[in-house]
Chains A and B, each alone.
Chain A
Amino acid sequence: MGEPIQSETLKTEPVKIAPVKTALHDLHVELGGRVVDFAGYALPVQFAGIVAEHNHTRTSASLFDVSHMGQLTVTGPNFETTVAALETLIPADLASLKPGEMRYSVLLNDGGTIEDDLIVTRPAIGQADDGVINIVINAGRKTHDLAVFQKQLGAQLQFVLADNLALLALQGPKAATALARLCDAPHKLSFMQSAPATIAGVSTIVSRCGYTGEDGFEISVLNEHAEHIARLLLSEDEVLPAGLGARDSLRLESGLCLYGHDMDDTIDPISAGLLFSIGKQRRETGGFAGFEHVRAIREEGPTLKRVGLSFEGRMPVREGAEIVDENDAVIGSVTSGTFSPTLQHPISMAYVPRKLSKIGTQVTARVRGKPTIGVVTKMPFVPQTYKREPGL
């Protein structure tokens, strides 16, 4: 048999797919943003600089473009039916959600491990039909999560991933003051509440939540109005643009997990330190995928636990660094790490053996072959300043 003949038309070359631009892409470029490919999206990693943006978020207000996140609308015949179905995959107590209320949780599989973390919102009164629930999911898991939802619940519920919505995150102690000049949402919402708001004649949904540990708002708006709203917010004295670099250092200081790094589909919520993502009663009554596994791990205690680590000096201990014992055997690993601009020392998240997970325990990490001592630290590393009452 001779060599197969390769037809010219069949020859393929790897296609480099350009990252997807959000509605704010041109604005990012205009503002001097350094645009990179993040999970297939063209997004700015920084503007003025990661440390400057980080500090500005903790003292004033920063505007982040988080339009890459998935905004999912779930529709069922009525609220009770929709949440009952979702609760088979999401272990939070969704049935008790009041209109406008939001809850952080996870999407679980039959093995009790985490497919994604997410925020579930029950629309405010009058915002949508009774059976509608909104869920925000991670950019890198959009397609995956949608397939899981369709497969498990597609017969009962309709799932639509928005392709025309931007998401802007305004975060910082002065975010409420800045936003209050444009709408009354800051006076109506407390932490983890959501409601429609009109900003300069444009319809938006404003949620008082975020990924920085500061007070802040996430604003969902049609793509065609996103740049206008962003420019309005940036014209407020308090507000400067910020990118993904600062978003990551901020969330790490706040002890918030990053899916795909601090947990993934090999990790259960107990080991990940996300017990609060499971409704209190549901920890006993279950009714969600993987409950038996989760219950068993909770009873026995996890083998490895996610903890915060603080280090002396200035050398960051990053994802992939190994945690070793006195014989230099690998006993755990670092999943996130940076130099904390607020605390001025390195901080990390790591999985360590349960017996070493008590606050104050010293553990040894290896960076470029050299040992460095970390101390197990309570998270958040930097206090969270969520507003539990409406107002500025």
Chain B
Amino acid sequence: MSKLLFTQDHEYVRTGDGDAVVGISDYAQSQLGDIVFVELPTVGTKFEKGAEMAVVESVKAASEIYAPVSLIITAVNSELDGAPDLVNSAPLTEGWLVKATLVDDAALDTLMDEAAYQAHIA
């Protein structure tokens, strides 16, 4: 059963069968504007919750993306090399940033579900 959870900083984690998928929310991509470059981590790297994991660059500025929970990268979205705008057009689907195995599932309990996140950004 797939679960979609969000952080205060507008990252999401989708868990279900297989690896977790991490990206940024629709709200985040609209705030950032046109994304021109995404810097993704190396497969195999471990990040503690809150550590800087990736960078998303718009025309105006670079934004750090933080690991929503402690995780180990198993895949990165190489489509973003040539098409960083996928993060703008499909942040929750084709615009995913990384896939990972979670170090501690219980940490997911600290994240917000979609309803809580919508209230957070309202």
Q: Once the chains bind, are A318 and B62 in contact (CB under 8 Å)?
A: yes
* Inter-chain contacts of A46 with B (CB < 8 A): 33
* Inter-chain contacts of B60 with A (CB < 8 A): 45, 50, 245, 248, 338
Main secondary structure of the interface of A (DSSP, over half): mixed
Kindly state whether residue B26 has any CB partner on chain A within 8 Å.
Answer: no
Kindly state whether residue A11 has any CB partner on chain B within 8 Å.
Answer: no
Kindly state whether residue A77 has any CB partner on chain B within 8 Å.
Answer: no
Q: Once the chains bind, are B55 and A49 in contact (CB under 8 Å)?
A: no
* Inter-chain contacts of B113 with A (CB < 8 A): none
CB neighbors of B among A1-52 (8 A): 45-46, 49-52
Kindly state whether residue B39 has any CB partner on chain A within 8 Å.
Answer: yes
Q: Once the chains bind, are B37 and A50 in contact (CB under 8 Å)?
A: no
* Inter-chain contacts of B59 with A (CB < 8 A): 50-51, 54, 245, 249, 316, 338-339, 341
* Chain A, residue nearest B37 (CB): A314
* Inter-chain contacts of A52 with B (CB < 8 A): 34
Q: Once the chains bind, are B57 and A315 in contact (CB under 8 Å)?
A: yes
**Given A315-B57, A339-B57, A368-B36 contact (CB < 8 Å):** no
Q: Once the chains bind, are B34 and A316 in contact (CB under 8 Å)?
A: no
Q: Which of B57, B58, B60, B62 has the most CB of A within 10 A?
A: B60
* Inter-chain contacts of B39 with A (CB < 8 A): 315, 368
Not counting A54-B59, A339-B37, a sample of 13 additional A-B residue pairs whose C-beta atoms are within 8 angstroms of each other reads A45-B60, A49-B33, A49-B34, A50-B34, A50-B60, A51-B33, A245-B59, A245-B60, A249-B59, A314-B81, A315-B57, A316-B59, A339-B59
CB neighbors of A among B56-89 (8 A): 57-60, 62, 81, 84
**Given A245-B59, A341-B59, A315-B37 contact (CB < 8 Å):** yes
The CA of A245 and the CA of B36, in the complex, are separated in Å by 14
A245 interface neighbour in B33, B55, B62, B81, Cβ under 8 Å: B33
Q: Which of B39, B57, B59 has the most CB of A within 10 A?
A: B59
Q: Once the chains bind, are A368 and B37 in contact (CB under 8 Å)?
A: no
Q: How far is the CB of A150 from chain B (nearest CB, A)?
A: 36
**Given A249-B59, A339-B57, A314-B34 contact (CB < 8 Å):** no
Q: How far is the CB of A27 from chain B (nearest CB, A)?
A: 21
Q: List 12 A-B contacts (CB under 8 A).
A: A45-B60, A49-B34, A50-B33, A51-B34, A54-B59, A249-B59, A315-B57, A316-B59, A338-B60, A339-B57, A341-B59, A368-B39
* Chain B, residue nearest A339 (CB): B36
The CA of A130 and the CA of B84, in the complex, are separated in Å by 57
Q: Once the chains bind, are B36 and A314 in contact (CB under 8 Å)?
A: yes
**Given A50-B59, A249-B59, A338-B59, A316-B33 contact (CB < 8 Å):** no
B37 interface neighbour in A49, A245, A248, A316, Cβ under 8 Å: A316
* Inter-chain contacts of A315 with B (CB < 8 A): 37, 39, 57
Q: Which 10 A-B pairs have the closest CB atoms?
A: A339-B36, A314-B37, A51-B34, A50-B59, A315-B37, A245-B60, A50-B33, A49-B34, A316-B57, A338-B59
Q: How far is the CB of B47 from chain A (nearest CB, A)?
A: 15
CB neighbors of A among B24-48 (8 A): 33-34, 36-37, 39
1/0 per residue, CB under 8 A from A, across B81-114: the answer is 1001000000000000000000000000000000
Q: How far is the CB of B88 from chain A (nearest CB, A)?
A: 9
* Inter-chain contacts of A245 with B (CB < 8 A): 33, 59-60
* Chain B, residue nearest A45 (CB): B60
The CA of A299 and the CA of B37, in the complex, are separated in Å by 42
Q: How far is the CB of A74 from chain B (nearest CB, A)?
A: 35
The CA of A50 and the CA of B37, in the complex, are separated in Å by 15
